Amino acid sequence: MRNLKACLLAATVALATLPSFSAFAANGDTLKQVKERGLVLCGVHPARHGFAAPDSKGVWEGFEVDYCKAVAAAVLGDANKVRYVPLSSQQRFPAIQSGEVDVLARNVTANLSRDTALGLNFAPPIFYTGTGFLVRADSGVKEVKDLDGAVICMAPGSTTERNIAQIFAARGLKYTPVVIENNKQLVDAYVTGRCDALTKDKAALPGVRAVDTPKPADHVLLEGIYSKEPLAMAVRQGDDQWYDIVKWVVYATFNAEEMKVSQANVDAMLKSDDPDIQTLVGTIGDNGAKLGLDQKWSYNIVRQVGNYADIYDRHFGPSTSIALDRDLNRQWNDGGILYGQPMN
């Protein structure tokens, strides 16, 4: 009896003094943890060709993978110090909320409810796209109104489900959704003809057509973009310093392209006389100290990963299998809407 009592007492004390376990990020915590760990934990798409997918040797590559690398280059000075955490669309928000990843670069569309109700902060969009449709070339479908009554395959948990409902309702059209989480099963359902169309962000569809369909020529992308999908990196609310870092990593890649500082010429640019370029490559100014980073942070991004054009062309450029027109993703002075805030 006495034993039992002592045991109960100990257990009660233990329970009462348990620290409340928290994933809440206080200002400065994330940077400290990343530096201690020596690794950036980056949440990425498990298999979206062009954005993030392991290659045949299991090495991660893609547009968003490069942005994970850019964060690592800026924070740790080494673009390879990243651990990629593949996340389904269901898992991605809990993963960033709980602190399982430091930054989410996983085809996330920035919008108001995610910014607020999910407790996230969005860095500037790195890729502007919209809902697109992949259909069979022999189906005769040329635009969305030809899809009246069609069965449409889509992934759950994305903004796509909502956009499709709006696109079809606005045009007075009917459709039947088939919602499958597993990407392989989803694409398979479209390829075998269960669905008349596959819908995803338009930027993701060329990758599906090139890699997942047995005969890419049998499938066409519908012209036009039917919704706004600004894809952005997300961090948790509550750590403003980390949010600033991710935000300025993005602007650094924009500004480098605008100033024509690329991976190829960045070392030559160290001798530039232009104060803007000198600030970017870190020969003058104290931007690094302001962000809590090394003075060479933006130089490291461009040197190790590249400017926006380097990153874009590596994955969507004309020489790749999924060549995509840059469209809105050009610099503001070139007809696009990428506009890096000044780094002074």
Kind and range of the H or E run holding 151: strand 150-154
- Nearer to other proteins by C-beta: 189 or 210? 189
Window contacting other proteins (CB under 8 A); options: 59-67, 87-95, 221-229, 260-268: 87-95
Binding-residue total with other proteins (CB under 8 A): 56
Q: Which of 90, 265, 321, 341 binds other proteins (CB under 8 A)?
A: 90
Nearest-angstrom CA–CA distance, 334 and 328: 10
Judged by CB under 8 A, does residue 148 bind other proteins? yes
Judged by CB under 8 A, does residue 313 bind other proteins? no
134 DSSP β-pair partners: 198, 221
Nearest-angstrom CA–CA distance, 210 and 205: 9
Judged by CB under 8 A, does residue 319 bind other proteins? no
- Nearer to other proteins by C-beta: 156 or 285? 156
Judged by CB under 8 A, does residue 344 bind other proteins? no
Q: Which of 6, 8, 264, 268 binds other proteins (CB under 8 A)?
A: 8
One character per residue 168-187, x = contact with other proteins (rule: CB under 8 A): xx-----xxxxxxxx--xx-
Range list of β-strands (E), 15-149: 40-44, 53-54, 60-61, 82-86, 103-104, 120-122, 127-129, 131-136
Q: How far is the CB of 200 from other proteins (least distance, A)?
A: 15
The CA-CA-CA angle for residues 63, 66, 70, to 5°, reads 140
What is the DSSP secondary-structure string of 255-285? HHHHTT--TTTHHHHTT---HHHHHHHTSSS
Residues 108-137 that bind other proteins (CB under 8 A): 113-114, 116-119
Q: How far is the CB of 268 from other proteins (least distance, A)?
A: 45
| Site of tokens 């709980």 | 98
Q: How far is the CB of 278 from other proteins (least distance, A)?
A: 39
Judged by CB under 8 A, does residue 248 bind other proteins? no
15-30 core/surface letters (b: 16 or more CB in 10 A; e: else): eeeeeeeeeebeeebb
As to burial, measured by CB atoms within 10 angstroms (0-12 exposed, 13-18 middle, 19+ buried), residue 212 is buried
| Site of tokens 């930054």 | 103
The residues binding other proteins (CB under 8 A) are 1, 8, 11, 15, 18, 20-25, 89-90, 93-94, 97, 113-114, 116-119, 148-151, 153, 156-158, 161-162, 164-166, 168-169, 175-182, 185-186, 188-189, 192-194, 196, 236-238
